[in-house]
């Protein structure tokens, strides 16, 4: 396995993990936010986690598209 494929595989793995962590954070965030615990800080923390997860998903979607495009073009040239 060359260094190139190693980094590419690592990249794919990390992206997959990031997507699953996004789903996890989404679930955890909504669970915290919707939990019947009358402590405002916990609910607020849940909302923060949801917001971060949404931003992370945005970055992931944009970034993986652009980087895939770049590596595709670079491999074609």
Partner 1 sequence: MWNVFEILFYAQLLASLSYSLGSLFYALPIPVYGIKKWGPRLISDSIYVMVWTTIYTGVLGFAQQLLSLLGVSWGSYFQWLYQVENYDIIQYEIIKALLDALQYLGGTFAPFMLFSFLLAVSTSFIEFLTIISQMIYQYTGIFVALGILLMSLPFRIGRSIGASFIAATLVFYVGLPYLPTFLAQLDLNILNLHLPPNPSVTFILQYAIPEIFIANLLMPSSYIILLSGLSIGLGNAIGGYGSRVPFMVEIP
Q: Which residues bind partner 1 (CB under 8 A)?
A: 3-4, 7-8, 10-11, 14-15, 17-18, 21-22, 24-25, 28-29, 45, 48-49, 52-53, 55-57, 59-60, 63-64, 67, 70-71, 74
Please state the closest distance from residue 1 (CB atom) to partner 1, in A. Answer: 14
Please state the closest distance from residue 44 (CB atom) to partner 1, in A. Answer: 10
Number of other residues whose CB lies within 10 A of the CB of residue 34: 10
Structural tokens at position 56 = 């992370």
Q: With respect to partner 1, which residue has the nearer C-beta, 8 or 36?
A: 8
């Amino acid at each position: 396995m060359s260094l190139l494929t190693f980094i590419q595989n690592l990249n794919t793995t990390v992206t997959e993990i990031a997507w699953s962590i996004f789903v996890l954070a989404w679930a955890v965030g909504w669970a915290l936010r919707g939990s019947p615990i009358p402590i405002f800080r916990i609910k607020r923390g849940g909302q923060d986690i949801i917001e971060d997860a949404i931003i992370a998903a945005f970055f992931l979607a944009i970034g993986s598209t652009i980087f895939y495009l770049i590596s595709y073009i670079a491999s074609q040239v």
